[in-house]
């Protein structure tokens, strides 16, 4: 049976039902792995992974996940492919998708994912762009659900840069039915298009302690994302009041979880006592990249499983 090509460029590429399926399937695949059960539905399938930015978690989780599902993953970067020597992205997409079954790309502009997908005969997964990081947020929602049950109706505080992680969390709010308070310094608010897409699911805030009151989850990210390094000094000055401290977690309350997609900088966006403290679930988040993405790859290649 041939499935229609489905891409995962943002969380809006799936319906709410499909996203809930992926979370539950991720939980099942995690249980099976913990039980030592071998599940290899992707024998003979090959994934191409194109990384234009650095990665630890994304590369390892996709590569290990593909191997655990019985398939294989190939890593390429522009430096060791013809991309850096001027081969058009569209030509690369045509060639790669004739040889391999699924593609994951980590790059700069969201338009690069869009252009690649337009010329690809196989599913394309966004492994992080400047605009979105949907795989991370899928794993984060899975982590919340494991810890607390349904995320629908809950309140999340995003604190820091209104950038890729924040945008995907806003999409998650719309899709999973929670409210997200987005607390940023002036000038670092989320992208206008993402705000329009998520109308009614978010509110904008400036004061971290007020925004933190009673939330179920506090989430932050680095002050200087990949590609923004030239602004590091200016960002440090502006973001310092937005560090997630024990005071902010206390304002949120004991029920609140803390998440960070990692890599983290203790003493910058998060205090060491918070990320290494009892409310932090950052290691589960990182592990759940593996399980959630296995569910995603299986879904894109084989459809929903019973
Ligand atoms: N969180 C995340 O995507 O980590 P890497 O940059 O290490 O892949
Ligand atoms: N916002 C960060 C996320 C890293 C996983 C970045 O883009 O560098």
228 CA from centroid of ligand 2 (Å) = 10
4 CA from centroid of ligand 2 (Å) = 31
Catalytic residue among 130, 161, 221, 284: 221
Domain ranges in the chain? 11-133+286-302, 135-283
Mean pLDDT of 34-39: 98
| d(C-alpha 235, C-alpha 228), whole Å | 9
pLDDT of the residue at 78: 86
Q: Which residues lie across from 179 on neighbouring strands?
A: 155
Catalytic residue among 171, 181, 260, 289: 289
Q: Which of 54, 262, 275 to mutate to test the pocket of ligand 1 (most atoms within 8 A of CB)?
A: 262
Output the CATH code of domain 11-133+286-302. Answer: 3.40.50.1370
Task: Name residues whose C-beta falls within 8 Å of residue 75's C-beta, 6 or more positions apart in sequence.
Answer: 49, 51, 59, 63
Residue 170 contacts residue 201 (beta carbons within 8 Å): yes
CATH class of 135-283: alpha beta
Q: 164-208, pLDDT tens digit by residue? A: 999 999 999 999 999 999 999 999 999 999 999 999 999 999 999
Q: Which of 53, 133, 268 to mutate to test the pocket of ligand 2 (most atoms within 8 A of CB)?
A: 133
Catalytic residue among 14, 166, 183, 261: 261
The dihedral over CA atoms of 24, 25, 30, 34, expressed in degrees to the nearest 10, equals 110
Average pLDDT score, the chain: 97
95 CA from centroid of ligand 1 (Å) = 27
Question: Do 11-133+286-302 and 135-283 show the same overall fold?
Answer: yes
| d(C-alpha 127, C-alpha 133), whole Å | 6
pLDDT of the residue at 293: 99
pLDDT of the residue at 150: 98
**Does residue 221 have an active-site annotation?**
yes
- Residue 3, pLDDT > 90, answer no
pLDDT of the residue at 1: 64
């Amino acid at each position: 049976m041939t499935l229609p090509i489905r891409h995962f460029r943002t969380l809006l590429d799936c319906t709410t039902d499909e996203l809930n399926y992926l979370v539950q399937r991720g939980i099942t695949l995690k249980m099976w792995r913990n039980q030592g059960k071998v599940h290899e539905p992707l024998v003979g399938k090959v994934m191409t992974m194109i990384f234009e930015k650095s990665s630890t978690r994304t590369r390892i989780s996709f590569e290990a996940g593909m191997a655990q599902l019985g398939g294989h993953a190939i890593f390429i970067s522009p430096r060791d492919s013809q991309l850096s020597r001027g081969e058009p992205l569209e030509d690369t997409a045509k060639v790669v998708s004739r040889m391999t079954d699924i593609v994951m790309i980590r790059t700069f502009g969201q338009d690069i994912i869009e252009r690649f997908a337009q010329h690809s005969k196989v599913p394309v997964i966004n492994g992080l762009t400047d605009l979105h990081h949907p795989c991370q947020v899928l794993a984060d929602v899975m982590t919340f659900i494991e810890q607390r049950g349904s995320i629908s109706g809950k309140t999340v505080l995003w604190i820091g840069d209104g950038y890729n992680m924040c945008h995907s969390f806003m999409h998650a709010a719309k899709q999973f039915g929670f409210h997200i308070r987005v607390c940023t310094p002036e000038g670092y608010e989320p992208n206008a298009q993402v705000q329009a897409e998520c109308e009614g699911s978010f509110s904008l805030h400036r004061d971290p302690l007020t925004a933190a009151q009673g939330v179920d989850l506090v989430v932050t990210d680095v002050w200087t994302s990949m590609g923004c390094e030239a602004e590091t000094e200016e960002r440090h000055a502006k973001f310092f009041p937005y560090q997630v401290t024990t005071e902010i977690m206390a304002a949120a309350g004991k029920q609140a979880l803390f998440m960070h997609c990692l890599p983290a900088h203790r003493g910058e966006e998060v205090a060491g006592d918070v990320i290494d403290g009892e409310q932090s679930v950052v290691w589960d988040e990182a592990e759940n990249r593996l399980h959630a993405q296995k569910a995603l790859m299986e879904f894109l290649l084989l459809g929903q499983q019973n």
